[in-house]
Structure 1
Amino acid sequence: MKRHISKEKYDLLCSVSNDQGMITAAAMDQRGSLKKSIAKYMQSEVSANQLATFKTIVSETLSPYTSSILLDPEYGWPAAKKRNTNAGLIMAYEQTGYSAEDENRMPDLLPEWSVLRLKERGAQAVKLLVYYDPDDKEEINSVKQAFIERAGLECQALNMPLFLEPLCYSNRIPDNKGTEFAKVRPQKVKKLMSEFSKPKYRIDVLKVEVPVNVHFVKGLKANEGNPSVHTIEEAKTLMKEAAEASEVPFIFLSGGVTDEVFAETLELAGEANVPFSGVLCGRATWQEGIPIYAARGEEALREWLLKEGVQKVKKLNEVIEKNAVPWWDFYEDQ
């Protein structure tokens, strides 16, 4: 049974999508992690202005080839102004990262922002990231669920589309990039897709990790040199099962992999007939520009993005167009 959303939400979702109802969005809302990455190559502290400048250059060079761009209200408003006129604007609502002392990875909102304020400044959708282990203690997950419910109600009151990004993890398996976590990741992603597509959360689009870690799928290029946890056919089945658990449209995040690996991953999803509605792709398209910006400055970054970054985005767009489905398939006709 298809869900109903308001006409205003529907129209705003159209504004962050392409004409085929697919979301081909650039993710540029990284804050703490991006600062650290640039500082690593600069070997010095990165200023707020340097961070904002990096985001702005990425926005103005890549957004002409994306349906929208995801930014943050801390450093992203200059980049929002420089985005292409046809690109929609999604704004992050959560505080970046989590305390190293907080093993439960509790979420929090940016204290000086509200959905109303983001909408008044021109945002057409809101993104909320929450670290979530569906197998954690009930008292921990209950707090996170209530947190998401409040954000959902706030967006519902203002007819603002809400993208939820639930990132799975496990305190029992510290290395989320290793083989042990690769074994449990499909079921964790499936559980959170099922949980957060429940009507009480009022989520309009789920932004999720690909259920399988393709670095551990035997037969894929991404598996080269790594142990194997799944066969290609097993991976397809796991991806399909997770997709079937969702009652709302979902898009995939790149998770820091290269553009080649991400493209291969999306092709696999297409082969499995997984009805994803696009991507919110960040580092896969611009991360190689970080050392260039750190060493050679703004114009060198812009030159690299125009030559290399744009091609990465175009190639991913081709894969999405071939394999994705419109998000509006999940909703009643307006």
Structure 2
Amino acid sequence: MTADSTTGPSLDPLTDRRGGFSMVALDQRESLRAMMAPVMSGPVGDESLVEFKTLATAILSPRASAVLLDRAYGLPAAAARAPGCGLVLAADVLQQEPGGPVVGATLDEGVTAELAAQLRPDALKMLVPWTPATRSGAVDLAERFMRLCRTLGLPGIVEGVVRPPDISSWSDADRDAAIVRAAEDLAVVGPTLYKAEVPGYGASPAEAITATARRITEVLDCPWVVLSSGVAAERFAAAVQACRQGGASGFLAGRAVWADAVTAPDPAEFLRTESLRRLDALDAVGVSTP
């Protein structure tokens, strides 16, 4: 499903030259602070997060169709975007232990009509944790988010992530089934774009990833993209290709593109070389798949 198959606010400002999505996520907050800690001589201050997000946005946005930024530390980076690069604003407040995974999320009350008028984002994004035991709560959170999007006249990107406490004991098949079920549950709120995890963490055979991607496509009435959390950088392009074969329309990816830059001796040089090379590889995937 392509971007122009949706109803409501247009997703066109977020698309690349082929009508797909080549978006970079830079809305990490406490997880980014934890990533930076090993190379800092002391506590990682807020200014370090702002500096990295601004640097990464300036270097990566010329190759991205859009960037995803947060209100807490990402607003200065919005001005560093390249012309023609769209802006997605995170509308979530994330709950997590330092260095740990996201275990909960709430709607950010600071994302207001006034802020939207100031920043002029092209869409909002909400991370929605989903577990078998909290399905109705996930749907309720996603519905409140989409209500905000409708009030502001903006497209809404719902990001369903499977986060049960016992996920480490799940098989890949269990997790893949849950990813599909989460998409099916959250589809009822009418997202403009859906953001899903890569089946099998990108390590499963391409045919298996594509098969699960097709199941995600079947339960959604909107286009969808994949995120990169949990997928090794060297596997991500192939995983995106397999998902696109199953109906995905691109990616909204962060760590697989730039995470290694955080601890590199020269983060700017890493972003200009390896991170841009990774984006070029993802761009090539878009040429070779539907």
Query: Is 1:59–1:69's contact at 8 Å kept on the other side of the alignment?
Result: yes
How well do the aligned residues superpose, as a CA RMSD in angstroms? 2.4
Describe the SS at the equivalent of 1:279.
strand
Q: Which residue is 1:226 aligned to?
A: none
Kindly report which structure 2 residues correspond to 1:88-237, keeping only aligned pairs within 5 A, or say none. Answer: 88-98=86-96, 105-114=103-112, 117-133=115-131, 135-136=132-133, 140-171=134-165, 173-175=166-168, 180-198=170-188, 201-215=189-203, 217=204, 220=205, 233-237=207-211
Query: Is 2:126–2:158's contact at 8 Å kept on the other side of the alignment?
Result: yes
Tell me: CA distance 1:116–1:189, structure 2 relative to 1, closer, same or farther (3 Å): farther
Is it true that 1:311 corresponds to 2:281 in the alignment? no
Q: Which residue is 1:280 aligned to?
A: 252
Query: Is 2:6–2:192's contact at 8 Å kept on the other side of the alignment?
Result: no
Q: Percent of pairs identical after alignment?
A: 25
CA distance in 2, matches of 1:264, 1:152: 32
Deviation per CA, 1:102-127, whole angstroms, max 9, x where unpaired? x9944212233325523432211000
Describe the SS at the equivalent of 2:125.
strand
Greater Cα shift, 33-42 or 148-157: 148-157
Kindly report which structure 2 residues correspond to 1:64-103, keeping only aligned pairs within 5 A, or say none. Answer: 64-98=62-96
Describe the SS at the equivalent of 1:130.
strand
Shift of 1:43: 4.4
Structure 2 gaps of 5+ residues are none
Tell me: CA distance 1:4–1:206, structure 2 relative to 1, closer, same or farther (3 Å): closer
Match of 2:39 among 22, 29, 41: 41
What's the TM-score once normalised by structure 1's chain length? 0.79
CA distance in 1, matches of 2:157, 2:287: 21
Describe the SS at the equivalent of 1:45.
coil
Structure 1 gaps of 5+ residues are 221-231, 325-334
Structure 1 letter corresponding to 2:15: S
Deviation per CA, 1:233-283, whole angstroms, max 9, x where unpaired? 44433332232122211001111423320112123234xx31111100111
CA distance in 2, matches of 1:146, 1:286: 33
Tell me: CA distance 1:90–1:141, structure 2 relative to 1, closer, same or farther (3 Å): same
Structure 2 letter corresponding to 1:190: V
Q: Which residue is 1:269 aligned to?
A: 243
Deviation per CA, 1:182-201, whole angstroms, max 9, x where unpaired? 23111111111112222xx1
Larger Rg: 1
Deviation per CA, 1:66-114, whole angstroms, max 9, x where unpaired? 10100101111111101101100001010123369xx994421223332
Describe the SS at the equivalent of 1:84.
coil
Tell me: CA distance 1:67–1:233, structure 2 relative to 1, closer, same or farther (3 Å): closer
Shift of 1:142: 2.4
Query: Is 1:94–1:128's contact at 8 Å kept on the other side of the alignment?
Result: yes
Aligned residues: 286
Q: Which residue is 1:332 aligned to?
A: none
CA distance in 2, matches of 1:73, 1:43: 26
Structure 1 letter corresponding to 2:153: N
Query: Is 1:60–1:84's contact at 8 Å kept on the other side of the alignment?
Result: yes
Shift of 1:314: 0.9
Q: Which residue is 2:262 aligned to?
A: 290
Query: Is 1:258–1:285's contact at 8 Å kept on the other side of the alignment?
Result: no
Query: Is 2:261–2:267's contact at 8 Å kept on the other side of the alignment?
Result: yes
What's the TM-score once normalised by structure 2's chain length? 0.90
CA distance in 1, matches of 2:216, 2:39: 38
Shift of 1:308: 1.6
Query: Is 1:182–1:212's contact at 8 Å kept on the other side of the alignment?
Result: yes
CA distance in 1, matches of 2:221, 2:157: 14
